[in-house]
A and B are shown apart, each in its own frame.
Chain A
Amino acid sequence: MNEIAPAKTRGGHLAARRMGTPCGKVSPDRHPFFDQLEKFLKNKTGVAGLVIIVVFTLVAILAPVITPHDPNENALYDQLKPPVWADGGALKNLLGTDDMGRDLLTRMIYGARVSLTLGVVSVGIAFIVGSFLGAFAGFYKGWPDNLIMRIMDIILAFPHILLAIVIVAYLGPGLRNAMIAIGIINIPRFARIVRASVMEEYEKDYVTAARAVGAGNRRIIFNAIFPNCLAPIIVQASLGFGAAILDAAGLSFLGLGAQPPLSEWGAMIAQGRQLILRAWWVMTFPGIAILLAVLGFNLLGDGLRDALDPRLRD
């Protein structure tokens, strides 16, 4: 399959450059990245996901500029103000305020910072450790492979959030430990994918060629094989990002993640839960923020999978 349509398959971009792409109107010098980009941009839902994420990211970065309030500014006279469209709402607090008079929209915007940072850190941990372990296992096979994959199986033997909760229970609550816990529980996702990809790529001619010209193991893994395994990893990272945000929100909701007064969406929902009878908005809006952010990453992940790795389509 590789020889017939090199531009479309993983591992194809070296071959494509050497042989010239046979894809009709596409110019022979074009890097396959642009083909994939073009394919991705045709995928409406994937682009919608990307737009959502870009908006959230911009909002998070520009938080101090676009918010008129301080996220922790208490206002005694503005306690539990409803959103602007409800009776008693004011333009000053578009989505209302919480029981300390803090502006809900402002806190949600600052919450985007926490959630995105958390996603980057925990997926980063999972990505680096998981890819390294997976590459090691897939490349050396034999007992290192067995040992690493059995450890991954053990991590997977715990239901997702349970393990995170237990890890935080022992490490102590807090945002940093929550990020570590979520990173750890996501390591097997990456390890398994990288291992499978490395094993598949290992058999290919370009690896033999690299070895023939005298490349060492490290060079073969990182310079030759790894770039060709990137597609499924990127897809997994996008989907993992959404899952990490959800898990972190769950931990914070339980009081094990972000601690007050830090504005984090899950913690805000926990706070709103106490006020559910008096102020429905405190609990409702942060949930919508989580939903949109996670939806964005899931849409992007699905779109990327269709563009980068058609074999994985469901």
Chain B
Amino acid sequence: MTGFIIRRVLTVIPTLLGVTVVIFLMLAVTPGDPAELLLGERATQESLDAMREYLGLKEPLYVQYGLFLKRVVKFDLGETIWTREKVSTEIKERFPATIELAVAAMLISSFFGIILGLISATRQYSWFDYLSMVGSLVGVSMPVFWLALVLMLVFSLTLGWFPMSGRLGVDTDLTLITNFYLLDSLLTGNWEAFWDALRHLALPAVALSTIPLAIVARMTRSSMLEIFRQDYIKTARAKGLSEFKIVMKHALRNGLIPVITVVGLQFGILMGGAILTETVFAWPGVGKWLFDGVVKRDYMVIQGGTLLVATTFVLVNLLVDVLYAIINPRISVR
């Protein structure tokens, strides 16, 4: 197993290098002077010259890439055009919001997905099974940004149960420590802010959880059905164990192994795929920031954001594979 893990970790290096090459080349092949693209139209001649020097534009392409890589390793991602803030600082401010949202969505989707899949599997071909499977198919076919708007229309504009956008109400005070609002409000014992942050989180998290929920439910169902056909379950039945004990103690433990992988992969997608949901709910995370960068043609933001999201995605996937190898020793034989 150690061999497998080492091999898997090593495969990440060329992929990540490839990601940096792609991000580097995208700017290089975009028509126009990269220095001008990065600094915006209003840049002065001196700052343009300085930027050209900094990027090494007079050097051949591979030297420029080398310089780019060197900056990336040092986490020097440049400054944004619009706020003149360091890209790395902006990421530090926004990434917690994205993680908070992704974790909340993942908790909702794993919890309900596993329960739905489990009930469906124990009652295969019942009306509940059909309904939840049709429901999950509808779930994966739904445009998330549309669902987000519908939720907003119903639960915030019409019923007024939840706030429409943002992470915290304007009149709520919160001392920031980690930038994870829920965590910060707990740490400071600020229950009012905790409740407010939770209400702000609810709708975006529910919207974002639909697709993973549907996928987890389908996966749990098929995996459990597979397990129910195994001999050891028959043995358990023959021993006269209660159905509850069979499912919870014997089947679930093995049945959830593939589900864990799916949950992990979905989490990786959510960490960067929340662009649409974040935009709809004005959630100040990396996704919305990246999209704003695209709209404003702020190439430093695009570069930095893409790099962050892709790296997170690759690393989460790596972690999932390694975890899978640990909980399922059969993998290392492959």
* A290: B residues at CB distance < 8 A: 142-143, 146
* B149: A residues at CB distance < 8 A: 269, 272-273, 276, 283, 287
A304 proximal to B (CB < 8 A): no
Per the bound structure, the CA–CA distance linking A277 and B152 in Å amounts to 10
Per the bound structure, the CA–CA distance linking A266 and B290 in Å amounts to 20
Chain A 153-197 interface mask (CB, 8 Å, partner B; 1/0): 110011111100111111000000000000000000000000000
Chain A 260-296 interface mask (CB, 8 Å, partner B; 1/0): 0000001001001100110010011011001100110
Partner of A169, one of B142, B143, B302: B302
Question: Smallest CB-CB separation from B272: which chain A residue?
Answer: A159
Of the listed stretches B65-73, B106-114, B133-141, name the one at the interface; the rest are far from the partner chain: B133-141
Main secondary structure on B side of the interface with A: helix
Establish whether residues B309 and A162, one from each chain, have CB atoms under 8 Å apart when the complex forms. yes
Establish whether residues B276 and A254, one from each chain, have CB atoms under 8 Å apart when the complex forms. yes
With A162-B310, A166-B306 known as contacts, the answer to whether A284 contacts B269 (CB < 8 A) is no
Establish whether residues B279 and A254, one from each chain, have CB atoms under 8 Å apart when the complex forms. yes
Main secondary structure on A side of the interface with B: helix
Establish whether residues B273 and A153, one from each chain, have CB atoms under 8 Å apart when the complex forms. no
Establish whether residues A299 and B137, one from each chain, have CB atoms under 8 Å apart when the complex forms. yes
Chain B 134-174 interface mask (CB, 8 Å, partner A; 1/0): 00011011111111011011000100000000000000000
Per the bound structure, the CA–CA distance linking A302 and B150 in Å amounts to 28
With A169-B294, A283-B149, A295-B137 known as contacts, the answer to whether A159 contacts B142 (CB < 8 A) is no
Partner of A157, one of B145, B147, B314: B314
Establish whether residues B306 and A298, one from each chain, have CB atoms under 8 Å apart when the complex forms. no
Per the bound structure, the CA–CA distance linking A64 and B152 in Å amounts to 35
With A169-B302, A249-B143, A254-B291 known as contacts, the answer to whether A159 contacts B137 (CB < 8 A) is no
The residues of A with any CB-CB pair to B shorter than 8 Å are: 150-151, 153-154, 157-162, 165-170, 242, 246, 249-250, 253-256, 266, 269, 272-273, 276-277, 280, 283-284, 286-287, 290-291, 294-295, 298-299, 302, 314
Known: A154-B18, A250-B145; 11 extra A-B contacts, CB below 8 A, are: A151-B18, A158-B306, A159-B310, A165-B291, A166-B26, A166-B302, A168-B294, A254-B294, A269-B143, A276-B152, A290-B143
The residues of B with any CB-CB pair to A shorter than 8 Å are: 14-16, 18-19, 21-22, 26-27, 29-30, 137-138, 140-147, 149-150, 152-153, 157, 218-219, 222, 268-269, 271-273, 275-276, 279-280, 290-291, 294-295, 297, 302, 306, 309-310, 313-314
Q: List 23 A-B contacts (CB under 8 A).
A: A150-B14, A153-B14, A153-B18, A154-B21, A154-B22, A157-B314, A158-B22, A158-B272, A162-B272, A162-B275, A162-B310, A169-B294, A170-B26, A253-B143, A254-B291, A254-B294, A269-B145, A277-B157, A280-B153, A283-B149, A287-B146, A287-B149, A291-B142
